[in-house]
Structure 1
Amino acid sequence: MDFLQWLFEARIPVGNGSLLLREVVGNVFGLLSALGGMRRRVWAWPVGILGNLLLLTVFVGSIFGGAGAATLLGQAGRQMMFIAVSIYGWRQWQASRDRGGQAVTPRWAGSRARLGMVSFLIVGTFALTPLFRMLGSYEPVWADAWTFVGSLLATFGMARGWVEFWLVWVAVDIVGVPLLFSAGYYASAFMYVFYGVFTLVGFFVWARAQRTATPSIETLLPDPTLR
């Protein structure tokens, strides 16, 4: 009990301010999960789930972090969504561990699917914004809703092997970075900056793989904690 109290209250001094320890630790778990995912290790999934659980407590700040902490329901919802995806991925990887990875040939989604993705992102953001506002999410609430809907869309796109899913992550990062900075979640914001660059690189890698039409890239779901 003392350890949990320490974990929830501990902060790391940085300059004139401080970072919440569990936010930093949650992102560290996310980084470890990403490294495990690149190496196709089953342990990447449970490590990612631990990171998600920590970040979930961070983003529902008014419950776990005190009255002065901002609540980002979209970010919290993403963690819950990614936990569910990670449980599925964990079971799939465990079952196929001795059979090797399942590869996918990256492909363009096509005009119809692109229109559907754009529509889903815009309509979903408009639909969730009033709900998140009613539940007390941090302003601007539309940005919180945008990151949630975009994350869901990018996860679906990667599962389908669409090259465009990387650009959806870029769109999420463009809105998510200033939102996290304004809400005071600096560790997560800096991680978003890093992954913004990473997703751009990933887009060109998948686009090149699509041109060569070789199934050399695995269908890996996006790392749940670092997004």
Structure 2
Amino acid sequence: MSILSHLLDATISIGGSEILWREIIGNVFGMACAWGGMKRKVWAWPIGIIGNVLLFTVFLGGVFHTPQALDLYGQAGRQVMFILVSVYGWAQWSAARRRGLREKEDTDLSRSIVSTPAEEADAVQPRWASPRERLWLLIAAAVGFVLFGWVFGALGSWGPWAESWIFVGSILATYGMAKGLTEFWLIWIGVDVVGVPLLLTAGYYPSAVLYLVYAGFVLSGFFVWVRTQREAAAARVEAA
């Protein structure tokens, strides 16, 4: 246990501030998850869960005695949410991938050298949310923002309203990713806009840097998914 404790509590000094290695490693796993999500790979979900577990201990600084010693209940709570939604997304994408494999095998029994291998079946087909889905997303965002802002404030969280914005946005973005809604990338941008100044002020520098990097990454992911939608639509027209 002493070795494990040493690994979990190991720090690095950056600009005179002590930073936990597990915050850095947890964010690396988060970035890997985002990259896998852009590529629509099922492994993105379990990789993300590992990062969530590490970051949960980071953001409860007062409980786990981190260098910042700040409790960001919204940041910690969203790691739990990520784990729960990731299990759902993992199941959704795995089922979609299995269906894709069956369809490829049915339509390409010869499996010629120029055929797409069944192992490369995409986990999900990106699409725009329907008007009804967008309405429900907006309602959930408004209600969730007010509700969790009050909850985090009552718990004594540091920056409860910013925490609420990030927490609710993260729920909706992760849900959108699981459902294959292209809008989920745009929701992440809204999360990053608030997340960067919050984490910088609180002293969680690796996480703030990840948010900055992630902002550019999600823009790229958004355009990748839009292009994928257009290519799929063109393929359907050609097939028809």
Q: Same fold (TM over 0.5)?
A: yes
Task: Give the C-alpha shift of residue 68 in structure 1.
Answer: 5.1
Q: 2:208 aligns with which of 165, 189, 203?
A: 189
The answer on 1:179 being equivalent to 2:198 is yes
Name the CA distance, whole Å, in 2 between partners of 1:162 and 1:144.
24
Letter in 1 for 2:85: V
Any stretches of 5+ residues in structure 1 without a counterpart?
A: 217-227
The answer on 1:62 being equivalent to 2:24 is no
C-alpha offsets along residues 76-99 of structure 1, whole Å, 9 cap, x if unaligned?
111112222334455667786794
Task: Tell me the number of residue pairs that the alignment of Structure 1 and Structure 2 aligns.
Answer: 214
Provide TM-score, normalisation by structure 2.
0.76
Task: Give the C-alpha shift of residue 207 in structure 1.
Answer: 2.3
C-alpha offsets along residues 22-46 of structure 1, whole Å, 9 cap, x if unaligned?
111212233444556648364x544
Any stretches of 5+ residues in structure 2 without a counterpart?
A: 102-118, 236-240
Report the more deviating stretch, 11-20 or 88-97: 88-97
SS of 1:138's partner is coil
Letter in 1 for 2:147: A
Hey, what does 1:131 align to over in structure 2?
A: 151
CA RMSD of aligned residues (A): 2.9
- Measured at CA, do residues 207 and 74 of structure 1 come closer, stay the same or move farther in structure 2, by a change above 3 Å? same
Name the CA distance, whole Å, in 1 between partners of 2:152 and 2:200.
19
The answer on 1:119 being equivalent to 2:119 is no
The answer on 1:29 being equivalent to 2:29 is yes
The answer on 1:2 being equivalent to 2:2 is yes
- Measured at CA, do residues 50 and 137 of structure 1 come closer, stay the same or move farther in structure 2, by a change above 3 Å? same
- Measured at CA, do residues 94 and 201 of structure 1 come closer, stay the same or move farther in structure 2, by a change above 3 Å? closer
Task: Give the C-alpha shift of residue 50 in structure 1.
Answer: 2.4
Name the CA distance, whole Å, in 2 between partners of 1:180 and 1:133.
17
SS of 1:123's partner is helix
Pair member with larger Rg: 2
- Measured at CA, do residues 36 and 3 of structure 1 come closer, stay the same or move farther in structure 2, by a change above 3 Å? farther
Provide TM-score, normalisation by structure 1.
0.80
Identity of aligned residues (%): 53
Which is richer in helix?
Answer: 2
Name the CA distance, whole Å, in 2 between partners of 1:191 and 1:180.
10
The answer on 1:40 being equivalent to 2:35 is no
Task: Give the C-alpha shift of residue 175 in structure 1.
Answer: 0.8
Report which structure shows greater RCO (CA 8 Å, sep ≥6).
1
Task: Indicate conservation of the 8 Å contact 1:8/1:65, yes or no.
Answer: no
